[in-house]
Each structure stands twice: as structure tokens, then as C-alpha cells.
Amino acid sequence: MMIQVEGRHLSIDSFMAELSHLLREGDTSKATGLLDKAAENCIQEPEVAFHIASTYCNIGQTAKSKSILDLLSKNKSHAIWMRATLDMSHVLIQEGDLLEAERLLWKAHQSERLNPWPIYRLIEIYDKKNELQNAEKAVRDFEELNGKGTDLLSQLFMGSAARHIFEQQRVDTTSLTRKTTIPSLSRCGMISMVKNEDDIFGASLRHHYALGIRNFCVVDNDSTDQTAAVVAQFREEHDDCFLLYINDPGKKHYQAKKMDVYGDAFVAAAKMDGKSIDWIFYLDADEFIAPLASKSNHDHHRRSSDLFEQALNDPTKHVLVFHWVHGVSSEVLDVTPANTHPFEVYDNFQEKVDPIVSKVALRTGLKPTQGNHTVDGDAPSIASYVNMAQAGWCLLHFPMRSVEQYRRKVINGAAANNSAPGLETAATHWKTYYEEYKMHGDNVFRQIVQNFIRNIRSSIPDRS
């Protein structure tokens, strides 16, 4: 799919990369001009038109976005009409016209009662109106209509609830160094797919061991650094653990399929070693399960531990939903400092968490989707989910630790995705950043990390 701009024919990835770079540079005027040129001939290519309309909305040009979507809604294709209606409702929500957005969404729902996306947008409206009970009712009503659970809606509702919880709580920095053990985690497993993560993965293994996990599976995607040595050292120092190390040299990033295959192998191998795995935690090297702190309840920490323990032992619960809270350094680092702990270096934790991103832990037997964000296949009902933010827990995330580290991560991520047919719509941020890198060189990575740190630090109130 190509976009024609000023005599040039750009792929959507290249076009989005050029836009992204202009916006990061603060050149909104030039970015808008580029969009205006692309919009002149876009309506004959609906996919291109949707991209342009979405980008207009993202930069605040909602009138132009609505103009394109209005034309798309007149298309004879019902699928295009539905998508235009859903996107129009999103623009209206951004403008604050919740009444008109709700009217459009109920119309779309009546048109396709088993389509979850109109309900998805309705939940966004209820979130804006702080009507979480109506949001939960919408999920349960759709489940009853559909005859089964819908992970998409359950996850969105969990995220809406988590956003409101994060407004009242923050990362419990005192508990990060306090020994907190959840006894039933000894019957759980942690599986991580890693590539060149020797700067942080040792800290992750030790942190989750201290939390209580005793079964580990490491899928090493052909690392060329000291990741294998880090794992070997951890195994030597913790002989009470079961640790399955798998060297996976495959270049294609079929993460979901690999988690399926290796997850089953992990459970089977542990069983042969006399270990039982009731839950699997799918954690990247830069993700750490951590407690939240209440701003008013000083006994919150003990209660959080009890709720975690209860969730693991409740036979009616099948999905634990955690949400990212990003941590960053105070300034841009060219390289990741050696022999340091991420909690010490990246100790600026965001307090306004938006957007909300979830990661799941699953009772053995369920499978995750690509990225381990949601449940694959037929999902259980919302009653089977536990919102770990409500239990007082989050997932600390340290994705940008230095310019050098993020450069390597983007290049590796783009190569892995580009080599995997069928994942063209997955992890599009890697593709956009990689296209920017090809256009503008290494300085792009410093800009990305710098902007990320600035955005996280701006969410932290000044308590001096």
C-alpha cells in the first residue's frame, strides 16, 4: 500500500516514520502540510485514508479527520462503514462530544450485535464519565449475548479501572527493597524470551526469585552478549530452582507460537523434575512485578500480599492482569551503566499512567497472544479475571535504559518482525522507529529516549 505525496510514492511505514520524525522535532506545521498533501488523493485507497484520518486526530486536527471519515462512511462496503463509524466515535470522544459518540456506537452495535468494537468504544466513554459500573455491565451484557468471554473487552475494562487506581496509588519505592514473598508463587512458573539483555535480566531473575517464583524458563533468542552467563550464574547460586534454558536461534519473531510450544515444554519438563506449575507468568527481561503504595492506607502492603496469594489459590480465577508503570533515569544515558540495579538507576516512576498497557499471567492451559498482552482463543468470562492493580500490584517496565540499548532493541525488533510473514500489523512501533533510523540516522534514538524520559518525568508531581 503506497501513499502519494509531492510526486513521491511512500510505503505506509515510511510515511508514518517521516511524520513521526517531524512531530518529534516539533515541526507540526510541516507534518500537517505533509498530511494535507497525502489527503488530496487518499479517499480512493481506504486503508491509506484511515491512516491519515487517524494521524490528523492524533495531532489535534479533528475537523480534518472527521471530514475524511465522513467520506469513508458513505462507502458501499459495510466493513468500511463500520470502521469509519468507530473511528468517528473515537474522534468525537477526543473532542468531548460523548453524547454524539454514544449515539453512533449504539447504531453500530445494532448493526452488528456480535461485533465487540462498538462496546469497546462505549467502555471508553464510560471511562471518561467515570462510570465503571456501566463499563462492567457492558462487558457482562456482551458476554451474555455472545455466549462466551471476550478478552478485548475484559482487558479494556481492567485498564479503565487501573487508570483510576493509579491516580490514588503510586509505586511503593520502600517496598522495592523490602523482602516480600508470596508463598504460592513457588508453584508458578516464569517464562522469558530474551535477546542481549545481560544488563537487566539477572536483576529480573533475582527479583522474582525473592518474590517467590521457583520455576524459570529462559528462551534465549541467540544472544551475543553475556545473557547465557547471567542465567548460568543465577542457576549456580539458586540450586533450589528448576530452570529450563532453551537456545532459540530462530530469527522470526513468532512470539505467541513460541510461547505456546515452549510453555508446554516448560510445564512438562518441570513435571518430570517433580515440580507442579499452576500459573505461568510471561515476563520480558525489563518487566518486574512490584507493589503499589496507597496514599492513605499504611497497611496496604500486607493487604496486597494477601490478595495476590488469594488470587493464585482461587480456582475460579484464570487470568491475572498486570499493567505497565514505566521507570526512567533522570537524564539520557549513552550506555547502560554496569553493575547497577534498575530500581536505583531508573527510579523516576510515572504517576499518570496513560495509555494503559496490560500483560497477563495465565493459569496453565490458557495461551497468550503475540506480546503476551491478552488471552489467545476463547477467553474465560470477566469473572475469571483478576485486576492486579486493584490487588495493589503493577508491572514496572524499563524499556529505554540507554541510547545504545534502545538502538539495539529497535534494530533487532524490526529485523525479527520483518522476517516473520503474517506479523505485518504487529509491533508497528518497531517498524516506524526503524524507518526513521534509515532516514535520519542514529540521532533518532537519542531523540526517542529523551522524549520518553521527558514524558514520564512530566507525570510526576513536584513534592519538594
pLDDT for res 300: 62
pLDDT for res 299: 60
> Is the pLDDT confidence value at 175 over 70?
no
Quick one: DSSP state of residue 96?
T
Lowest mean pLDDT across 3-12, 101-110, 111-120, 454-463: 3-12
In contact, 203 and 342? CB cutoff 8 Å: yes
Buried b (16+ CB within 10 A) or exposed e, 177-211: eeebebeebbbbbbbbbbbbbbbbbbbbbebbbeb
DSSP of 380-446 = PPGGGEEETTTTTEEEEE---S-HHHHHHHHHHHHHHHHTSTT-TTSSHHHHHHHHHHHHH-THHHH
Mean pLDDT of 275-296: 88
Residue 287 to residue 359: CA distance in whole angstroms: 10
Mean pLDDT of 143-149: 91
Residue 253 to residue 450: CA distance in whole angstroms: 27
- Grid cell 467520506 in the structure block, residue: 71
Supply the Cα-derived Rg of the chain in whole angstroms. Answer: 23
Instruction: Spell out the alpha helix ranges (H) of 273-402.
Output: 300-313, 342-345
Lowest mean pLDDT across 25-34, 121-130, 165-174, 219-228: 165-174
DSSP of 176-231 = TSS----GGGGGEEEEEEESS-TTTHHHHHHHHHHHT--EEEEEE-S--SSHHHHH
Sorting pLDDT into bands at 50, 70 and 90, what band is 434? confident
Mean pLDDT of 419-448: 75
In contact, 247 and 237? CB cutoff 8 Å: no
Q: What's the Cα-to-Cα distance from 390 to each of 125, 162, 351, rounded to whole Å?
A: 21, 7, 16
- Which cell numbers in the block locate residue 159? 485498564
Mean pLDDT of 388-414: 91
Neighbours of 47 (CB within 10 A): 12
Beta bridge partners of 360: 321
pLDDT for res 57: 94
Greater confidence, 369 or 200? 200
> Is the pLDDT confidence value at 65 over 80?
yes
- Which cell numbers in the block locate residue 205? 531473575
pLDDT for res 252: 64
- Per residue in 121-140, pLDDT (tens digit) is 999 999 999 999 999 999 99
> Is the pLDDT confidence value at 453 over 90?
yes
> Is the pLDDT confidence value at 277 over 90?
yes
Mean pLDDT of 179-204: 94
pLDDT for res 358: 93
pLDDT for res 297: 53
> Is the pLDDT confidence value at 294 over 70?
no
Greater confidence, 388 or 43? 388
Mean pLDDT of 340-367: 89
The closest of 434, 409, 414 to 424, measured between CA atoms, is 414
> Is the pLDDT confidence value at 169 over 70?
yes
> Is the pLDDT confidence value at 355 over 80?
no
Answer yes or no: CATH 3.90.550 is held by domain 171-397: yes
In contact, 450 and 332? CB cutoff 8 Å: yes
In contact, 321 and 387? CB cutoff 8 Å: yes
pLDDT for res 335: 93
Amino acid identity for residue 100 in this structure: E
- Per residue in 79-113, pLDDT (tens digit) is 999 999 999 999 999 999 999 999 999 999 999 99
pLDDT for res 464: 54
pLDDT above 70 covers what percent of the chain? 91
Q: Where are the domains of the chain?
A: 171-397
pLDDT for res 196: 92
Mean pLDDT of 292-307: 71
- Per residue in 217-228, pLDDT (tens digit) is 999 988 999 999
Q: What is the mean pLDDT of the chain?
A: 88
Greater confidence, 268 or 297? 268
pLDDT for res 4: 66
